[in-house]
Chains A and B, each alone.
Chain A
């Protein structure tokens, strides 16, 4: 499976997350046309209906819009993309902090370790 999906979480949710990452990381640039449902479904090895549903969800959120005949495009609203990027990063940092807490690290120790790692 070329998209590396987990087998215990809904596929739909994972497709949405994957595309969100592609948008904030610039795999798809603002305003860029994205491949068709069929192409994306083939690339991800998932059901085209599930892919369609994920794209509709991203459209509802305003991250994409479709034009009747010419296809589906990434939003040109860079503020929106930046906001999503921050949300996604914050979520990951929160998860990370929880794991560090479970290892018994204090906020200070976490900060020091990160600073050390970033320098490398």
Chain B
């Protein structure tokens, strides 16, 4: 059987600048993976290709054996790095909208999480603070019963207390059969919840390892290793 996510020789060139170059990657079910890299390393490009929002220049992406398309989108729940929800809808209306769009959307789960985070479903999106809006978006994305969750910078705009909330939301709603890919540069905040980390550098994979292997072998946190690796490569 093929892996949940299988990427071969993936290359993306913007005009003449390569954003991804010949990336091979295999990811199985039941993992939480950190996609880490400095700005411009190709994180968002690889995510957008997996989600079908960008066409690769070369290479192949299979999601649970399906090429990127209608079938792959059914099993991927994607949190983009920007807001895309309609400001004039209430949270409740947004939930109805998601129920129409995704057959795996679990409204009970969404309402339960909103209640836990003290968010009023009757509030209009535009009245929410930036952090609350991010929480709502994450709740919507995590309320799908998807196989692959892809979260692009899910905690960037929220305060540290809310980050803990969000990470706990991710852990407590995590289905052991599903895989979550989290792209971020706030490594120290997330490294305890990750199984594996992938370091991207100039559009290529510089390292793919488990968090505990890094700590065991290097005697330092992933965050410390990241700072070291990228300082070296820049010289």
Indicate if B54 sits at the interface (CB-CB under 8 A).
Answer: no
The smallest beta-carbon distance between A20 and chain B, in angstroms, is 18
The smallest beta-carbon distance between B174 and chain A, in angstroms, is 6
The smallest beta-carbon distance between B211 and chain A, in angstroms, is 7
The smallest beta-carbon distance between B28 and chain A, in angstroms, is 11
Stretch at the interface among B11-19, B102-110, B191-199: B191-199
List residues of chain A with CB within 8 A of the CB of B193: 45-47
Within 8 A of B (CB), among A36-82: 38, 41-42, 45-50
A12 to B191 alpha-carbon distance, docked (Å): 13
A38 to B223 alpha-carbon distance, docked (Å): 25
The smallest beta-carbon distance between B26 and chain A, in angstroms, is 17
Report whether A8 and B221 are in contact in the complex, using a CB–CB cutoff of 8 Å: yes
Report whether A11 and B219 are in contact in the complex, using a CB–CB cutoff of 8 Å: no
With A38-B174, A42-B172 as contacts: A49 and B32 at CB distance below 8 Å: yes
List residues of chain A with CB within 8 A of the CB of B164: 1, 45
Indicate if B167 sits at the interface (CB-CB under 8 A).
Answer: yes
Indicate if B220 sits at the interface (CB-CB under 8 A).
Answer: yes
With A45-B164, A47-B32, A49-B30 as contacts: A11 and B171 at CB distance below 8 Å: no
In the complex, what residue of chain B is closest to A52 when comparing beta carbons? B176
Indicate if B57 sits at the interface (CB-CB under 8 A).
Answer: no
Indicate if A10 sits at the interface (CB-CB under 8 A).
Answer: yes
| Interface bits B199-235 vs A (CB < 8 Å: 1, else 0) | 0000000000001100110011101100000000000
Most buried by A among B171, B195, B223, B224: B171
In the complex, how many residues of chain A place their beta carbon closer than 8 angstroms to a beta carbon of chain B?
A: 18
With A7-B223, A12-B212 as contacts: A47 and B172 at CB distance below 8 Å: no
The smallest beta-carbon distance between B32 and chain A, in angstroms, is 5
Report whether B192 and A46 are in contact in the complex, using a CB–CB cutoff of 8 Å: yes
With A7-B223, A8-B219 as contacts: A48 and B212 at CB distance below 8 Å: no
Report whether A48 and B174 are in contact in the complex, using a CB–CB cutoff of 8 Å: yes
Report whether B224 and A8 are in contact in the complex, using a CB–CB cutoff of 8 Å: yes
Report whether B212 and A50 are in contact in the complex, using a CB–CB cutoff of 8 Å: yes
Indicate if A116 sits at the interface (CB-CB under 8 A).
Answer: no
With A47-B192, A48-B171, A48-B174 as contacts: A7 and B221 at CB distance below 8 Å: yes
| Interface bits B12-50 vs A (CB < 8 Å: 1, else 0) | 000000000000000000111000000000000000000
Report whether A7 and B212 are in contact in the complex, using a CB–CB cutoff of 8 Å: no
List residues of chain B with CB within 8 A of the CB of A21: none
Interface residues of B (CB under 8 A from A): 30-32, 164, 167-168, 171-172, 174, 176, 188, 191-195, 211-212, 215-216, 219-221, 223-224
30 cross-chain CB contacts under 8 A: A1-B192, A7-B188, A7-B191, A7-B221, A7-B224, A8-B215, A8-B220, A11-B212, A11-B215, A12-B212, A13-B212, A38-B172, A42-B168, A42-B171, A42-B172, A45-B164, A45-B168, A46-B171, A46-B192, A46-B193, A47-B32, A47-B171, A47-B192, A47-B194, A47-B211, A48-B171, A48-B174, A49-B30, A49-B176, A50-B212
Interface residues of A (CB under 8 A from B): 1, 5, 7-13, 38, 41-42, 45-50
Kindly list 5 other residue pairs between chains A and B, CB separation below 8 angstroms, not including A11-B215, A47-B193, A48-B171: A8-B215, A12-B212, A38-B171, A42-B171, A45-B171
